[in-house]
Amino acid sequence: MNSPGLKPGNSGARHYGIMFAFLAIFFWSTVATAFKLSLSFIGFLPLVFYSALVSMSVLGVLCLVRGKFSQLRTWGKSDYMRSMGQIKLST
């Protein structure tokens, strides 16, 4: 995340780093608690499915807002397979 005027030695960059670290800790603990509570209502596989669906939706909206959604059309099959963790070693 390169903001204009922020260099690695700047106190502003350090402030952003600390802020993002605290946000990551907050969301990590919140998601873990939400998953534990949700498991008492629905099974494990539906919970993973819904969490993946929400994640893909949020990332899709972010791509649309930033104008990056059209880049997905330029991807080939190997790019999609790599993004799913199925890395093809031979070409």
Same domain, 56 and 90: yes
Same domain, 37 and 48: no
List, for residues 9-51, the tens digit of each pLDDT value. Answer: 566 778 888 998 999 998 888 888 888 899 999 999 999 888 8
Residue 8, token pair as written in the block: 């690695």
21, 53, 43, 28: CA torsion to nearest 10: 0
Q: Count Cβ neighbours within 10 Å for each residue of 29-55 and write b for 16 or more, e otherwise.
A: eeeeeeeeeeeeeeeeeeeeeeeeeee
**What's the rounded Cα separation, in Å, for the pair 51 and 35?**
9
What is the structure's pLDDT at 2?
Answer: 54
Domain carrying residue 36: 1-41
The count of domains in the chain is: 2
Same domain, 81 and 91: yes
List, for residues 48-70, the tens digit of each pLDDT value. Answer: 888 888 988 988 898 889 988 78
| Structure-model confidence comparison of residues 4 and 56, the more confident one | 56
What is the structure's pLDDT at 22?
Answer: 92
What is the structure's pLDDT at 86?
Answer: 62
